[in-house]
């Protein structure tokens, strides 16, 4: 049964009329409170993943648990449906276990704090914040073990637990949790930051309710949700067809020799409701790449994607959820059976955005269809003992190329998540035995197109202490596809150079790789797919990319552009483009870089992957 909120004030909140000016004031105040949550976390957290990179997500919700402002929705609904204990004023709940909260969070490293907001004994709102902890215990440092086959191998599981009861910290519970992680000091500070952010947002909610009245505050939240409902209803009617359309994409492998894994989705509209059906998605994996996709979370993905494409000025919240029906078969990659491992779910999470972009863009390829490039969120782990005998542990998220779009080129070396930032190289070099010897975009890695796909990044890490590394990445086998004539982006690879040895191509998913002082890792990420016919790109834009070292001289020829003496040879360009148009195949909506069977058959010749010591690929 759903969670029971204990209120000493039994007078129910009333829905009343609120004038537009008041709504705007409260809306902007809540937006500011949401930004304040981020600021608090980034200024008080300790781990680089949260403090520097911003791997944390805030929200403020109404008393029913519907997000009104925030970056992600769906946290509280899944939790309240699964939590059957009583909740009182002053309680703060902590959990990280997807199986215990209807996948309100989707893997154990994400710790979520949920705070009910009370005013004069009456429940008026929720605040919540989750952050990715640098460690959660388990088999490997960083707690995302490739070879985990159950969630029990991925670290401590925290069921929904009252970290604070009636405002009192449960210190024994906290110490028990921190005793099971490798980076207890970081986790303690990060957790305190999450709590502080939620408490601050709760104070802001109380201040607004005190200023305008509880009923006005409550009603304004409902109005904000209703506005979103109406906007999304219009968007759905415009862009979701009644005739079903479907699309499939693949996770390249599971890190244990099996793959690729298909994610398939069919989309259509019935009346005002958009329906997404994942029938045909492959069964759950043996390893940790499973993604327990909460249906409410997918609605959030859908809403966030469409609003940002159609009109970013629309306030994104949970108001539209009744307009979307999500169907995910049990036992598949996206809804695995307990106790399947979940920690490496990021690959499927990123691929969902590519699938979603393809489905939404098919009906309006010139206005909405993005190429592929929201493909993954590559991780690097490095741990060991430094020269002083002290333990160090780095978890870092890398960036790839964002896809070409109808409105322009994809950004180079950008995060999957728009609010993420890179960990500054100076920070890494100051706190870890690492030297960053190279940090630059990979020329020509973005797919050629009228609008170029963003280039991937090459980061050269020189290890200054013996230790172990782990890598989690994808898009090494399948290409980030291009659209409307655009070419696919380059695939990823990771190359380890050891003194006196041949370069070693590492598998995209590996862990426990021993490194010695002086070893050099080239961490090369994928490029975004191109959008539109590359032969239609302005040759002088290609020259500009050449001068910026984003496109090479040979790479310019993919656009039919001939560069000589740092200038466009107009006559030679016209001749080359005429020849390329005459001999090429007809332009199709999607360019996957070949059939999946051909890609698998020739992957060794094309990318030198997988490395010889990696298990051969099998088809399930």
Mean pLDDT by 10 residues, the chain (620 residues): 83 93 97 95 93 90 93 74 90 96 91 96 95 96 96 97 97 98 97 98 98 97 96 92 95 93 97 97 97 92 84 86 97 98 94 92 86 82 96 93 93 78 91 96 96 96 98 93 96 93 93 97 95 97 97 97 96 97 94 86 50 30
Does residue 256 lie within any of the structural domains? no
Tokens 């009603």 map to which residue? Answer: 219
Q: What's the gap between Cα 5 and its chain centre? A: 32
Does residue 154 lie within any of the structural domains? yes
Residue 394's closest CA among 39, 6, 48, 4? 48
Does residue 308 lie within any of the structural domains? no
Cα gap 58→67, rounded to integer Å: 10
Angle (CA) 439-441-442 rounded to 5° is 115
Which region holds residue 344: left if phi is over 0, alpha if psi is between -120 and 50, else beta? alpha
The predicted pLDDT at position 77 comes to 76
The predicted pLDDT at position 600 comes to 76
Q: Which helix (H) or strand (E) holds 601?
A: helix 596-607
Cα gap 16→216, rounded to integer Å: 7
Looking at 210, 232, 254, the residue that finishes a domain is 232
What range does the domain containing 198 cover?
4-232
Q: What is the per-residue pLDDT across 166-196, written as a single tens digit (0 to 9) for each?
A: 999 999 999 999 999 999 999 999 999 999 9
Question: Which tokens belong to 392?
Answer: 């160090």
- For residue 248, count other CB atoms closer than 10 A to its CB: 15
Does residue 206 lie within any of the structural domains? yes
CA distances from 581 to 365, 443, 534, 584, 590 (A): 21, 24, 11, 6, 18
What is the tally of structural domains in the chain? 2
CA distances from 84 to 111, 122, 123, 159 (A): 20, 20, 17, 12
- For residue 467, count other CB atoms closer than 10 A to its CB: 26
Burial code of 347-384, b = ≥16 C-beta within 10 A, e = fewer? bbbbbbbbbbbbbbbbbebeebbbbbbbbbbbbbbbbb
Does residue 357 lie within any of the structural domains? no
What is the percentage of the chain residues whose pLDDT exceeds 70?
Answer: 95
Cα gap 325→274, rounded to integer Å: 6
Q: What is the per-residue pLDDT across 82-112, written as a single tens digit (0 to 9) for each?
A: 888 899 999 999 999 999 988 988 999 999 9
Does residue 165 lie within any of the structural domains? yes
Whole-prediction pTM value? Answer: 0.93
- For residue 16, count other CB atoms closer than 10 A to its CB: 12
Q: Which helix (H) or strand (E) holds 425?
A: helix 425-431
Cα gap 385→207, rounded to integer Å: 48
Residues in the chain: 620
Does residue 63 lie within any of the structural domains? yes
Cα gap 588→31, rounded to integer Å: 42
- For residue 35, count other CB atoms closer than 10 A to its CB: 12
What is the percentage of the chain residues whose pLDDT exceeds 90?
Answer: 80
- 495 and 506 Cβ atoms separated by less than 8 Å: yes
User: In angstroms, what is the C-alpha Rg of the chain?
Assistant: 25
Tokens 């890179």 map to which residue? Answer: 422
Report the SS3 class of residue 324. Answer: strand
- 543 and 552 Cβ atoms separated by less than 8 Å: no
Which region holds residue 154: left if phi is over 0, alpha if psi is between -120 and 50, else beta? alpha
User: What pairs with residue 504 in β-bridges?
Assistant: 496
- 539 and 561 Cβ atoms separated by less than 8 Å: yes
Cα gap 479→400, rounded to integer Å: 13
Report the SS3 class of residue 175. Answer: helix
Does residue 253 lie within any of the structural domains? no
Q: 324-327 and 379-385: which strand pairing? A: unpaired
Looking at 232, 263, 283, the residue that finishes a domain is 232
The predicted pLDDT at position 84 comes to 85
Cα gap 73→71, rounded to integer Å: 7
Question: Which tokens belong to 275?
Answer: 């329906």
Looking at 213, 232, 251, the residue that finishes a domain is 232
């Amino acid at each position: 049964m759903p969670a029971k909120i204990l209120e000493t004030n039994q007078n129910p909140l009333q829905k009343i009329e609120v004038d537009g000016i008041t709504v705007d004031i409260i809306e902007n105040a809540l937006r500011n409170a949401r930004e304040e949550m981020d600021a608090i976390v980034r200024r008080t957290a300790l781990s680089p993943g949260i403090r520097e990179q911003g791997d944390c997500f805030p929200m403020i919700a109404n008393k029913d648990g519907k997000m009104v402002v925030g970056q992600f929705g769906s946290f509280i609904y899944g939790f309240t449906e699964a939590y059957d204990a009583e909740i009182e004023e002053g309680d703060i709940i902590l959990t990280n276990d997807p199986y215990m909260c209807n996948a309100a969070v989707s893997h154990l490293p994400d710790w979520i704090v949920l705070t009910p907001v009370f005013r004069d004994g009456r429940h008026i709102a929720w605040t919540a914040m989750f952050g990715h902890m640098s460690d959660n215990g388990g088999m490997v440092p960083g707690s995302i073990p490739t070879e985990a086959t159950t969630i029990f191998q991925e670290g401590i599981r925290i069921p929904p637990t009252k970290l604070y009861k009636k405002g009192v910290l449960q210190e024994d519970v906290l110490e028990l949790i921190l005793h099971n992680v490798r980076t207890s000091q970081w986790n303690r500070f990060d957790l305190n930051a999450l709590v502080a952010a939620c408490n601050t947002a709760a104070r802001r909610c109380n201040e607004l309710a005190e200023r305008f009245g509880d009923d006005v505050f409550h009603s304004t939240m409902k109005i904000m949700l209703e506005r979103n409902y109406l906007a999304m209803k219009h968007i759905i009617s415009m862009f979701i067809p009644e005739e079903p359309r479907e699309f499939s994409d693949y996770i390249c492998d599971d890190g244990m020799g099996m793959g690729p894994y298909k994610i398939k989705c069919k989309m259509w509209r019935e009346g005002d409701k958009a329906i997404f059906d994942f029938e045909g998605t492959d069964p759950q994996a043996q390893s940790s790449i499973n993604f327990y996709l909460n249906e409410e979370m997918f609605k959030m993905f859908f809403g966030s994607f469409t609003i940002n494409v159609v009109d970013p000025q629309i306030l994104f919240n949970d108001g539209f959820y009744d307009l979307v029906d999500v169907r995910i078969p049990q036992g598949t990659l996206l809804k695995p059976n307990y106790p399947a491992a979940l920690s490496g779910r990021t690959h499927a999470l990123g691929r969902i955005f590519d699938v979603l972009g393809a489905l939404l863009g098919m009906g309006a390829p010139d206005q909405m269809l993005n190429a592929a490039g929201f493909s993954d969120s590559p991780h690097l782990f490095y741990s060991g003992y430094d020269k002083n005998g002290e333990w160090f542990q780095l978890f870092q998220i890398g960036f790839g190329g964002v896809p070409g779009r109808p409105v322009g080129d994809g950004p180079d070396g950008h995060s999957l998540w728009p609010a993420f930032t890179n960990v500054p190289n100076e920070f890494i070099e100051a706190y870890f035995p690492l030297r960053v010897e190279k940090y630059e975009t990979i020329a020509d890695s973005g797919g050629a197109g009228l609008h170029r796909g963003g280039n991937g990044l090459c980061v050269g890490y020189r290890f200054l202490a013996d230790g172990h590394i782990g890598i989690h990445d994808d898009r090494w086998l399948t290409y980030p596809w291009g659209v409307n004539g655009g070419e696919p982006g380059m695939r990823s690879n990771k190359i380890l150079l050891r003194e006196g040895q041949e370069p070693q191509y590492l598998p995209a998913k590996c862990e426990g790789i021993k490194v010695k002082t002086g070893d050099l890792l080239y961490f090369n990420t994928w490029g975004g797919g191109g959008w539109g016919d590359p032969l239609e790109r302005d040759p002088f834009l290609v020259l500009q990319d050449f001068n910026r070292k984003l496109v090479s001289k040979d790479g310019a020829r993919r656009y039919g552009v001939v560069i000589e003496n740092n200038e466009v040879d107009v006559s030679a360009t016209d001749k080359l483009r005429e020849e390329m148009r005459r001999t090429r195949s007809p332009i199709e909506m999607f360019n996957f870089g070949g059939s999946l069977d051909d890609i698998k058959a020739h992957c060794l010749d094309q990318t030198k992957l997988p490395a010889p010591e990696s298990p051969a690929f099998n088809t399930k």
